[in-house]
Amino acid sequence: MTTPSYSIRKAVAADFEAIDEFDMFAGDRQEEISRGECFVAVQGETVAGYLTTARSFYQNPFIAYIQVRDNQQRHGIGHALLAFAESRWPVEKIYISTEADNAPMLHLLQKRGYTPAGEILFIQNEPELVFCKLR
């Protein structure tokens, strides 16, 4: 199977609608886009995935949201979005979290060398597991 090529860039206001079509997380990403904290993976004219990151975790970079469109998953876009974020902060710790029952995300974090860094309760139904990439 051939993998369509894609590029990753900072999201602009015009990307909001496309992101919102598949964004499963609470609220929407308007604020993150306007703060310059949202990045999109684009295939042709299609926004295939996005990630947000900000220096919001005790001054450390934190990836709050990462999502790939359902029909574009398993083509390496999740990997590429994380690699992009990691390359922006090459010498710093990067934190990220996901629910304890999110098998695809847990596999992805393991493959990219993230280390368990604790858990937070009472945010969602499942414990929120925190991971860190130590360089």
Ligand X SMILES: CC(C)(COP(=O)(O)OP(=O)(O)OC[C@H]1O[C@@H](n2cnc3c(N)ncnc32)[C@H](O)[C@@H]1OP(=O)(O)O)[C@@H](O)C(=O)NCCC(=O)NCCS
Which spans of this chain sit near ligand X (rule: CB under 6 A)? 24, 65-68, 73-79, 98, 102-105, 107-108, 111
Instruction: Categorise residue 71: left if φ over 0, alpha if ψ from -120 to 50, beta otherwise.
Output: alpha
Instruction: Categorise residue 31: left if φ over 0, alpha if ψ from -120 to 50, beta otherwise.
Output: alpha
Instruction: Give the CB-nearest residue to ligand X.
Output: 78
Tokens 């710790």 belong to 93
Identity of the residue, 22 or 89, whose beta carbon is nearer to ligand X in the bound complex? 22
Encoded amino acid at 19, one letter: I
Identity of the residue, 16 or 98, whose beta carbon is nearer to ligand X in the bound complex? 98
Q: How far is the CB of 126 from ligand X (least distance, A)?
A: 11
Identity of the residue, 53 or 67, whose beta carbon is nearer to ligand X in the bound complex? 67
